[in-house]
Amino acid sequence: MIYLYYDSRTGNVERFINKVIQITGWTAVRIQEDTIITEPGHLVTYTTNFGKVPDKTESFANKFAEILYSVTASGNRNWGRNYAIAAEKISDHYAIPLAMKFELSGTLEDINQFIDIIKNQHYDSKRGSEKLDIA
């Protein structure tokens, strides 16, 4: 079973996650302040304030980085070099492989790419796999 842990403020990430689970049947858990996880999984979040990691996401990553296989973030290309940069910041700070970035709630192509990355390039591999770092 593949677990996705996500944070969404405007609904973009939640829409992306809902499409992914409709296709795959994977388990998704929305991050709350008191969320506790025991199963390894993949983090999907958003970027806020033109390049900041959301506080709830930061706290979650700080607690559970050791069992997060990858990080993916939503962003807005209008932010230029800060586009979905939360994924890069989390990846760098916690040594979690960067899976991908997508704009807003993602396109069908983004969703399929995410599924492919998680299922075929990561599944059953070790957390530190360099192969996953394709974003």
**Domains defined along the chain, listed by start:** 3-132 (3.40.50.360)
Nearest to 99 by CA among 123, 73, 63, 75: 73
**Exposure letters 56-88 (e unless 16+ CB within 10 A, then b):** bbbebbeebbeebbbbbbbbeeeeeebbbbbbb
Q: Is the pLDDT of residue 133 over 80?
A: no
pLDDT digits (tens, 9 = 90+) for 66-123: 999 999 999 988 888 988 899 999 999 999 999 999 888 889 999 999 999 998 765 4
Q: What six digits make up the tokens of 64?
A: 């559970």
